[in-house]
């Protein structure tokens, strides 16, 4: 009898399921997905702008198809500039909207969960503050730049398709359109610009906004903007200098010689010869900004750990 009674617990122990092994990156993955679910403006904003631009581009191409003959009579360089202008405008528009979304997302990333008190729920989950802050930082540093790049690629593809359809409908050849546009070079320039400027160079701006988002009790965006402006005004009034303002302008404008093509801001057909990636990577302001951005994110992690709901 004792042997049988002891055998029953042993049978249950042998059938007990082993604890599930959780990947170290799984909480970060689901935290990023949670940010995308809760902040639909991350992708709705750039997509809406791309859709509106495509509609306007279609109407413009229908009205301008009679001017195609005059375009074909231009020199190759002039044809390149004229054909590429709407594509560059679409690229700049989508990137500009994506950057606006980046700024306002960072200003609300840690503030909104404290304001609606959902931080009490998220803190009850087995997800560390470091994972949460990194998942939120991945939106402006990784997700939005990649999303903007993909939307630009799709938008330019549809623009090229619409242009080719209208030209063929007018009885004209699409050879000039396809040979003069050089969209591959334009997309490479866009990718270079996104990585160097929108990710690396603007990193301290995003870090500062997230730090203020975790600290401010209200009006996080104003708290992020007003102190730098106050420092600029105080320096000018006391010392009659503008060093802090010059530093801010340098951070916002970026190292123009290493990021943008030459020719006075125009995108030439040989623009890749004028880019200096080595010079950009050797810029002291780049690495200083990355160190400052990392420090801001570390402080943001500490603030989320000890800040409660508003």
Q: What is the pLDDT of residues 160-211, one digit of tens each?
A: 888 777 766 655 556 656 666 667 777 888 888 899 989 999 999 999 999 9
Task: Taking residues 140-152, report their average pLDDT.
Answer: 94
Q: Contact, 301 vs 130, CB < 8 A?
A: yes
- Total count of residues recorded for the chain: 310
Q: What confidence tens digit (pLDDT) does each residue in 250-286 have? A: 898 877 666 555 444 444 445 556 667 777 888 888 9
CA dist., res. 38 & res. 27, Å (int): 16
Element (H, E) at 269: none
Q: Which pLDDT value is given to residue 18?
A: 47
**Alpha carbons 289 and 23: distance in angstroms, whole number:** 32
- Residues 6 or more apart in contact with residue 273 via CB below 8 angstroms: none
Statement: residue 44 has pLDDT above 50: yes
Q: Which residue has the higher pLDDT, 293 or 9?
A: 293
pLDDT of residue 76: 55
How many Å is the Cα radius of gyration of the chain? Answer: 26
Q: Is the pLDDT of residue 69 over 70?
A: no
Residue 74 is predicted with a pLDDT of 56
Tokens of 121: 């729920």
More confident residue, 76 or 87: 87
Rounded CA separation 304/175 (Å): 57
The DSSP-derived string for 242-268 is -HHHHHHHHHHH--HHHHS-SSTT---
Where do runs of H (alpha helix) occur along the chain?
2-15, 26-38, 41-64, 68-72, 76-108, 111-115, 119-123, 129-138, 144-169, 175-181, 183-193, 203-215, 220-239, 243-253, 256-259, 277-281, 284-306
| Least reliable range by pLDDT among 20-29, 88-97, 123-132, 261-270 | 261-270
pTM of the model: 0.82
Mean pLDDT computed over 214-238: 92
Confidence of residue 118 (pLDDT cuts 50, 70, 90): confident
Higher pLDDT, 135 or 79: 135
């Amino acid at each position: 009898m004792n042997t049988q009674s002891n055998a029953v617990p042993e049978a249950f122990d042998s059938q007990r399921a082993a604890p599930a092994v959780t990947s170290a990156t799984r909480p970060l993955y689901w935290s990023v997905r949670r940010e995308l679910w809760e902040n639909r403006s991350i992708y709705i904003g750039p997509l809406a702008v791309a859709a509106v631009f495509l509609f306007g581009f279609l109407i413009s191409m229908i009205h301008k198809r009679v001017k195609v003959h005059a375009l074909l009579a231009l020199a190759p360089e002039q044809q390149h500039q004229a054909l590429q202008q709407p594509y560059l405008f679409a690229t700049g528009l989508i990137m500009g909207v994506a950057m606006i979304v980046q700024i306002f997302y960072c200003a609300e990333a840690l503030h909104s969960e404290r304001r609606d008190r959902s931080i009490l729920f998220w803190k009850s989950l087995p997800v560390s503050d470091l994972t949460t802050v990194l998942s939120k930082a991945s939106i402006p540093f990784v997700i939005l730049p990649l999303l903007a790049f993909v939307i630009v690629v799709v938008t330019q593809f549809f623009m090229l398709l619409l242009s080719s359809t209208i030209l063929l409908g007018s009885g004209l050849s699409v050879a000039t359109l396809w040979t003069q546009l050089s969209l591959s070079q334009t997309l490479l320039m866009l990718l270079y610009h996104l990585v160097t400027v929108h990710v690396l160079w603007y990193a301290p701006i995003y870090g500062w906004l997230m730090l203020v988002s975790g600290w401010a009790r209200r009006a996080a965006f104003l708290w992020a903007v007003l102190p730098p402006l106050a420092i600029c005004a105080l320096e000018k009034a006391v010392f009659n200098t503008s060093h802090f303002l010059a530093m801010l302008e340098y951070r916002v404008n970026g190292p123009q010689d290493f990021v943008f093509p030459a020719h006075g801001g125009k995108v030439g057909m040989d623009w890749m010869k004028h880019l200096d990636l080595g010079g950009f990577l050797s810029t002291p302001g780049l690495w200083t900004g990355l160190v400052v951005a990392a420090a801001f994110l570390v402080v943001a992690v500490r603030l989320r750990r000890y800040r409660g709901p508003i």
